[in-house]
Structure 1
Amino acid sequence: MKEATSEDKGLIVSILTESFQDNQSVNYLIPADNKRLKRIRALMEYSYETCRMFGKVYLSDDKSGCALISFPERKKTTLKSLWLEVKLILTGIGFGNISRAINREKEISKNYPAHPIYYLWFIGVQPSMQNNGVGEQLMSELLAESERMKRPVYLETSTMKNLPWYKKFGLDVYNQLNFGYNLFLIRNGQ
């Protein structure tokens, strides 16, 4: 994997938009209207930009997979971060889902430890390239990096079929939240 550059943004946003368009957790925040795919794309653009500022963005060597990593303790309010949030509201989640997004984030973050973590916000592979080992390679490299940084990996998924995949990497469900769908909170070693 390689650290993404700003030139990779379009590709990464496309991979994530395609990979997560049917994801319950993503669609919880996205109005189900005729702009749904554009709204998901706006969410992925926000996530990409936020991780570029306060984490890392990776692209697989073959450019068919990507991962967004956040270091929550680094997140600060800046003019750019405020603008990104306003843009997300206007083009992504809409005004009606602001409290829903804030409340969900608050419930999830209550489960994080006080020490720094390696937060895997998104990992995705182009649908046509899935089940070819791209995600496994990315995940192995991410886990190695988190180990070098001495940070435990934390993530969430609403996709039950992904649970065995995470388990084979030594990641386990440590809590479950219900937002009208089940959100599984996952981490490695504690």
Structure 2
Amino acid sequence: MREATLADKELVVDILTESFQDNQSVNYLIPNDRRKSARIRALMDYSYETCKLFGKVYVSEDKKGCALVSFPERKKTTLKSLLLEVKLILSAIGLGNISKAVNREKEISKNYPSSNIYYLWFIGVATESQNNGVGGKLMTELLMEAKRMERPLYLETSTLKNIPWYRKFGLNVYNQLDFGYTLFLIRNDQ
């Protein structure tokens, strides 16, 4: 894997938009209207930009997979981050879902340790390349980087069938939250 460049942005946003169309956690915040796909794309654009500011964005060598990583302690309120959040509200989640988004993030973050973490926000593989080892190679490399940085890796999933896949990499569910769907909180035990 390599760090994404500006030239990779559309590719990353495309992969994640396609990968998360039916994801319960994403759809919890995205209004289910005729603009749903465009809204998910706007969410992935926001996530990409946020991770470029306060984390890392990775692309697999074959350009079939990607991962967005955040370092929560680096997140700061800047003019750019505020503009990104306004754009997120207007283009993706809508005014009516602001409190839902804020409350969910608050509940999730209560489960993080006070020490620095390696937060895997999104990992996705192009549909035609799924089940071919692309995601596994990415996950292995992400775990190696987290270990090099001496940070535990944390993530969430609302997709039950993904849990056995995460377990193959030594990641385990350590808590569950109910938002009208079950959100599984996962980490590696470093």
Q: Is the TM value for this pair above 0.5? A: yes
Aligned length: 190
Instruction: Tell me if 1:44 matches 2:44.
Output: yes
User: In the alignment, which residue of structure 1 is the partner of 2:166?
Assistant: 166
In the alignment, the residues of structure 2 paired with residue 138 and residue 188 of structure 1 have an alpha-carbon distance, to the nearest angstrom, of: 15
Deviations 1:150-180 (A, max 9, x none): 0000000000000000001000000000000
User: In the alignment, which residue of structure 2 is the partner of 1:9?
Assistant: 9
User: In the alignment, which residue of structure 2 is the partner of 1:56?
Assistant: 56
Alignment map for 1:141-180 (pairs within 5 Å) = 141-180=141-180
Using the TM superposition, give the Cα deviation of residue 112 of structure 1 relative to its aligned residue in structure 2, in angstroms. 0.2
Letter of the 2:87 partner, please give it. K
In the alignment, the residues of structure 2 paired with residue 64 and residue 17 of structure 1 have an alpha-carbon distance, to the nearest angstrom, of: 13
**TM-score, normalised on structure 2?**
0.99
In the alignment, the residues of structure 2 paired with residue 147 and residue 124 of structure 1 have an alpha-carbon distance, to the nearest angstrom, of: 21
Instruction: Tell me if 1:106 matches 2:106.
Output: yes
Moved over 4 A (4+): none
User: In the alignment, which residue of structure 1 is the partner of 2:24?
Assistant: 24
**TM-score, normalised on structure 1?**
0.99
Letter of the 1:78 partner, please give it. T
Unaligned runs of 5+ residues in structure 2 are none
Deviations 1:55-79 (A, max 9, x none): 0000000001000000000000000
User: In the alignment, which residue of structure 1 is the partner of 2:96?
Assistant: 96
User: In the alignment, which residue of structure 1 is the partner of 2:133?
Assistant: 133
Using the TM superposition, give the Cα deviation of residue 96 of structure 1 relative to its aligned residue in structure 2, in angstroms. 0.5
RMSD, aligned α-carbons:
0.5
In the alignment, the residues of structure 2 paired with residue 38 and residue 76 of structure 1 have an alpha-carbon distance, to the nearest angstrom, of: 27
% identity of equivalent residues = 75
User: In the alignment, which residue of structure 2 is the partner of 1:33?
Assistant: 33
Unaligned runs of 5+ residues in structure 1 are none
Q: Secondary structure at the match of 1:119?
A: strand
Letter of the 2:49 partner, please give it. E
Deviations 1:71-117 (A, max 9, x none): 00000000000000000000000000000000000000000000000
